[in-house]
Structure 1
Amino acid sequence: MVARVFLHIGLPKTGTTYLQGILWENKERLRDEGVVLPGRGHREHLWAALDVQERKHLERRDPRAPGSWERLCAELDATPGGTGVVTHEFFCGAGPAQARRAIERLAPAEVHVVVTARHAAGMLAAGWQEMVKNGSRTDLHAAAAADTRSEFGWRTWDLAGVLERWGDVVPPERLHVLPVPPRTEPPDRHWRNLAGVLGLTGDYPVPEEAANPSLGAVQVELLRRVNAHLGSFSSALDRGRWIRGHLAEGHLADQAGERLALDDDLLADCRLRSRRAVDLIAERGFAVVGDVETLLVPEALAPGRDLGSVTDAELLEAATQVVGGLLEDVRELTVQRDRLREESGPAVPSTVRRAARVLRRRRGD
């Protein structure tokens, strides 16, 4: 069994994709430092996070998803000494009993919980946007008011709630809070903070560009409305690849959009949530790496657009740009398909026709 395990539980939208990308890209380099990242990829840690929460019908995501948590733990059990790292932002949605069982399963290893965090206003704006990028039609106020156990909602966005649930199952010195560094810090500061907690001393290459780009207010509202017409994109794979990946990050993120700003009532609620979290950190004595004051909503926020100010004309302009880009995609794919047909002979067209017939039957055409 590894001697120590660092369980990085999120929160969502706190640079987790960036941090996880560095870890997975350097899996062998981590092993050289005695750090094991169990499993074969990021998706297994996602499944494990849902498995810990006892989510039903995990097999619908992938036949390999059920039992993912136990498989990761078994790999850590079989590793003599050193350090294990498990990381996914959905772990933070676990309830108190689920969190306790997860920590107990990792015994006798010394378990540390790592929470990357940001203030509640940034969390709400970014979290709702992520909902929309994953196919949601829910508007911002409805998302902020919802009482849900989903990974998209205050269950995972509210730092104080997460710290209360997980802070009861490890000693305070083993619960590490890493605020997302401000833009005035070096671009690799977030990674350096995590690497310090994990005890890494090597030089790890970091990406030059941020992962998971944001959308502007106009662009995210357009996507929310388009989602109403994407009912056939019902699987997590479809939503992630086509709505989030191709449409949102592949096209809408390229548009020059203005930052989303919250209405005054949402902002007031976020200020209260952030204050409660910072007070809890001080009261419980959790280990903070960075400036805890950045977890409070600033009095003066960067300028932005509230959704009520978005006009139909702006939505139309953004939509026409997207249609143009998608048409270029279709042209490029068609050229590639035709080239493959010419190079491969008649077998490719017949295969394409058979696939098209199967697709039409599934759709009921």
Structure 2
Amino acid sequence: MVDRIFVHIGLPKTATSYLQTILWSNRDALREQGIVLPGAERRDHLWASRTVRNDRHAAHAPEEHRTAWPRLLAELADTPGTGLISHEFFAAASRKQARAMVEALPSPEVHLVVTAREPLGLFAASWQESLKNGETTPLADYAREVSRSSNAIWNWRTLDLRLVLQRWSAAVPPERIHVLVLDPGAPRDDVWNRFAGILGLDPASCDLSGSFPNSSMGVVEAETLRRINGRLEGFTKALDKGVYLRTFLADERLVPRGGDRFWPEPDQIEECRQRARDAVVHLADGSFDVVGDLAHLLVPEELEERRVPASVTDAEVAEVAVDLVAVLMGDVRRLRRRQRRRDDASPVRSALRRLRPRAED
């Protein structure tokens, strides 16, 4: 049985994909240093979070998904060392769900790791991520209220550091809650080095070459994706969203276009400022282990001028959409040619060609 367990709960859009890519591509190096990353694949931690949060879709999910949480618990119970669970969707758990999760873990010593960043950039990035997951809400209407549902990921429920800490402090004492504040001016590997330090890992022992930043779309590209989502039919499963919307359409075709960066509406910016101040006060008044500079959680008073998504015109969307159709036409042609070559190379097709009578016969 592991002697202690670290649970990394996000927040979402705080270098979580970057960190998880490093962890899963270096499992052997982690194990050599006594870190147990349970599960067969990275998605096991996602599926476990759905069970913990009583996700409304979990009961009807495939058995592989439904059994992820008990499989993680069994592996942690059967393996010595330090356990590590990491997924940002755990941040949405209620107080009751957080307590139940911690009580189920096979170790009396549970630590929480919370990665955090200033709320304005976080808010804009999370709206983009919601679009990559098929949402259609305009940024001006995004997260206007704090959801009471533990299924609400793209909401202040998971984005507000103070609210997340208040819920999870009911399950883990503040002195065992490590808040890692992202430094916006630091090299990319800074967050990994400090994350590894919390775990007691040698950061140089892991290969970072497979890691990557989660890039953003420009404002017109984001608005185009939002409108496309409103026309799509049948792309509701997690696989469809992950493979076709997030990876194929957004990350591989819209992100490379670049485009103008953007802010939310002015009143949303002020809300981000206030939530940042509240989080800093909450951390300063508690006994949390803060790794980093609390000042990096504050939204600057002076911001560069940027557009808002509501300023995007139909003509701009049409231009991106036409370019996108042209790119997709090339994709379709390449896929068909590839399929044709595979068909031609198949044993059955080769046998049929040999049996076909020649013209001179």
Establish whether TM, by shorter chain, passes 0.5: yes
Which one has a bigger Cα radius of gyration? 2
Matched residues in 1 for 2:215 and 2:9: separation? 21
Contact 1:116 1:180 in 2 (8 A): yes
Aligned equivalent of 2:193: 192
Deviation of 1:107 after TM superposition, in Å, equals 4.7
Contact 2:44 2:65 in 1 (8 A): yes
Matched residues in 1 for 2:282 and 2:146: separation? 22
Deviation of 1:84 after TM superposition, in Å, equals 0.6
Aligned equivalent of 1:29: 29
Aligned equivalent of 1:288: 290
Contact 1:125 1:261 in 2 (8 A): yes
| Amino acid paired to 1:143 | Y
Aligned equivalent of 2:208: 206
Aligned equivalent of 1:15: 15
Note the alpha carbon deviations across 1:35-76, whole angstroms, 9 max, x for none. 110001111000111111112331544331113222211111
Matched residues in 2 for 1:15 and 1:207: separation? 15
Between Structure 1 and Structure 2, how many residues are aligned?
Answer: 347
Matched residues in 1 for 2:145 and 2:336: separation? 43
Matched residues in 1 for 2:253 and 2:25: separation? 26
Deviates most, 90-99 or 118-127:
118-127
Aligned equivalent of 2:126: 127
**Residue 101 (str. 1) matches residue 100 (str. 2):** yes
Q: Report the secondary structure of 2:137's partner residue.
A: coil
**Residue 142 (str. 1) matches residue 163 (str. 2):** no
Contact 1:259 1:303 in 2 (8 A): no
Contact 1:9 1:114 in 2 (8 A): yes
Deviation of 1:253 after TM superposition, in Å, equals 0.4
Q: 1:177 aligns with which of 153, 176, 179?
A: 179
Matched residues in 1 for 2:74 and 2:182: separation? 32
Contact 1:61 1:235 in 2 (8 A): no
Deviation of 1:209 after TM superposition, in Å, equals 6.3
Change (3 A) 1:193 1:328: same
| Amino acid paired to 1:32 | E
Change (3 A) 1:7 1:318: same
Deviates most, 295-304 or 258-267:
295-304
Aligned equivalent of 2:164: 162
Give the TM-score of the pair, scaled to structure 2: 0.92
Note the alpha carbon deviations across 1:280-323, whole angstroms, 9 max, x for none. 01111211111111111111234422112212222122112211
Contact 2:2 2:76 in 1 (8 A): yes
Contact 1:35 1:83 in 2 (8 A): yes
Contact 1:93 1:162 in 2 (8 A): yes
How well do the aligned residues superpose, as a CA RMSD in angstroms? Answer: 1.8
Q: Report the secondary structure of 1:144's partner residue.
A: coil
| Amino acid paired to 2:166 | E
TM alignment of 1:1-365, pairs within 5 A: 1-58=1-58, 60-80=60-80, 82-148=81-147, 149=149, 150-182=152-184, 184-201=185-202, 202-207=204-209, 210-344=212-346, 346=348
Matched residues in 2 for 1:49 and 1:62: separation? 15
Matched residues in 2 for 1:110 and 1:218: separation? 48
| Amino acid paired to 1:320 | V
Contact 2:29 2:205 in 1 (8 A): no
Matched residues in 2 for 1:254 and 1:281: separation? 38
Unaligned runs of 5+ in 2: 353-361
Contact 2:73 2:106 in 1 (8 A): no
Matched residues in 1 for 2:154 and 2:172: separation? 25
| Amino acid paired to 2:89 | F
Matched residues in 2 for 1:59 and 1:111: separation? 27
Percent of residue pairs bearing the same amino acid type:
45
Change (3 A) 1:168 1:249: same
Contact 1:260 1:304 in 2 (8 A): yes
Change (3 A) 1:28 1:121: same
Give the TM-score of the pair, scaled to structure 1: 0.91
Contact 2:120 2:273 in 1 (8 A): yes
Deviation of 1:108 after TM superposition, in Å, equals 3.3
